[in-house]
Structure 1
Amino acid sequence: MIYKKYSLVLIIAIDFYFGDVFGNIILIGQEGVMDIINSKNEGDYVNEAKMITMPGCFKISTVLQCGSTTIDFVNKKKIFAEIFLNYNDRVDENSKINKMIKITFGEKYITLSPKETYKNYSYDENGINLLQQSIRMLNNKVLFNVIKIYESNHSNNRTLAHSTVYDNTIKVQLYMIEKHPLWKYVKEEIVNINISTRNNITITDFINNSTTYKKNVALTLEEARRIMDDRTFKYAFLLLVYIYMTLKIDREAVIDWELFKKVFKQLSTAQIYPKESYDICYDLRLDFLTLHEDIISGQYEKTIKGFMMKYSKLFLTSREISDLARTHKLPQNVLNKVFQEFPKPHEKDVISYNFETIPNQLDDIKKKLEIIFRLITTEYKNFFDLTSFRIENNQLTLRP
């Protein structure tokens, strides 16, 4: 079972469900199929579904072609759905359609209608499993897996791994995101997506209502991971800035290097992915080792400044990076861009930390540095050695 004592589930340990699987993500909107997310073909497999028009006695219908099988989606319930579809079937332009499947999302049931027969399936986990098995029996080359189905947008206070998500692997990942120590601090972060009718979409809204925004769940989870990493990199940059400014005023200033190494180790452990931007690799784990060695040797001032400048570039445009390279110092607009309103005050704090404004007096800088230490310690207290854990059957357990 999941290790409950720390309620820590490290999402780095599991790759996305679709990472090594070739097929399609079918997004069903209220008017029917609204998008097909194709993956590349590999080898001799043909697995890209496509929409085709079928002539009829009274009207032309648009259906989904999977090799020699077609699937007609009828959305009477006006639901949103994400479906993973994979098949192994050779087909060319002259091949005939020999299997037709009609799936109707009705008010009470999902109806499967191959040829002249039909069967109803309930909107619950058991019904969805039976539907998937029945389609597999109709054509064993087709893998049809329902990821999620929902009727209208979910509120932000609903759990991510809710009852309208039917894929167990995706449920595990949603659960892991929600139990991640940083989730409470990032769940209201705004996602930058091009939706003309909606502004200020939070990452919680984006995940819960992914199909509404024409995105698959895996992509929204990737966005959540990116937001968490951005927060971690920002804290690393913030810490380096205030350590450097302390040393700039007083090279002999007393700094709690053990605490510095502790919180930087927490940040490096929390990092999900290394990041590359403008041909610069950002990996807190590697950088922590360098910092650790230089602090021990006492040659840390130049290293601190080097990493401070490096991590500032992670949040800048190419032009801003060029200006930074020319001046070799952080202008106020860079600090404003990265730290204004970051982070939002914790529950016990009532005013903004105003980290973008660096005080002129050493004592005042040290006071803010103490706050930075406290914030990182609070947010990242549950991060520790990844090697203590293992994944078995989609569950995180402590190694014996």
Structure 2
Amino acid sequence: MAAQRRAPAGMLPAVEPIRFVAEDGTACAAPRGFTAPSAELLREAYRRMVLGRRFDAQATALTKQGRLAVYPSALGQEACQIGAVLSLREDDWLFPTYRDSMALVARGLEPVALMELLRGTGHCGYDPEATCTAPQCTPLATQAPHAVGMADALRRRGEDRVVMALIGDGGTSEGDFHEALNFAAVFRAPVVFFVQNNRFAISVPLEKQTAAPSLAYKGIGYGIPSEQVDGNDVVAVLSVLGKAVTHARDGRGPFLVEAHTYRMDAHTNADDATRYRDAAEVERWRAADPVSRLERYLRDREVLTDADIHADKAAAEEFAASFRGRMNAEPELDPLQLFTHVYAEPTAHLMAQREALRTELAGEGV
């Protein structure tokens, strides 16, 4: 009879989410086994969180002006979005969802090109290979197996690069998520599954999605060490993700992190969140705002000054103005691009369709 496997020590998440900073911005006792990020990294996190929030507000406004077809806001999730990006190297891969535009802006992707998917002018406005960033994924969790495949390829090549898959709480209810975890564990793929638990899968609350004590426990059944973190505390997010990324980069296989956060705005501009949650709940989470929380924490440590705050907000306004101005310009579209990325080798039928459209656009045979 084969010997029974025993779970290695340290696989279970903490009973309570890891936290360094209280909701009012004051410091908590440092959690055992975790180290706070450097002051320089936290200062950079604040700058990018301020810019990310302003970008998010501008993108939301553009939907009301008809410049975007749809926009899923990440307001309230700044610590998760920026924490994820700052935990990776530039040559690490990121597999985002449709709600992670703020993270991609923080990663340095051009915002107007980034909006092509949500504007309806293209499938993906940036080069995934050049940016090590997969296209934003609209179907829930279908990017998770892709992330595992990329991670396994990097492992087989002997590269020390890591893959991070961003997933919402709703995505953990999908079969793709569970298949990805199983493959990642079996092949010891260097991938971090980062679940941003913002409490709602559109209108479905967390308690109607799972009976698990925490989504972090989803990894244990597959042999994946897991942790849960206060997703509105960027100090904790950076610390926990740093540990997870190091685990994967050192060849010890995948890691799962659940961040407890909240989606302050509606699911998208097409959603009415007041139909399934009350204002009091939103206000309770507003008190845990990740930006003001970090601001006070850094002020108390004399890492952030009034001048710094003013400069960061001014830079964010300048960024938003540039983004807004370019989004207000009418896009130049080539309808024939519809056929460009359908197949690696276009079929005869596809080429016939392309020629028919080209003829119609040219006015030939009219």
State TM-score, norm by structure 2.
0.25
More relative contact order in 1 or in 2 (CA 8 Å, sep 6+)? 2
Normalized against structure 1, the TM-score is what? Answer: 0.24
Larger Rg: 1 or 2?
Answer: 1
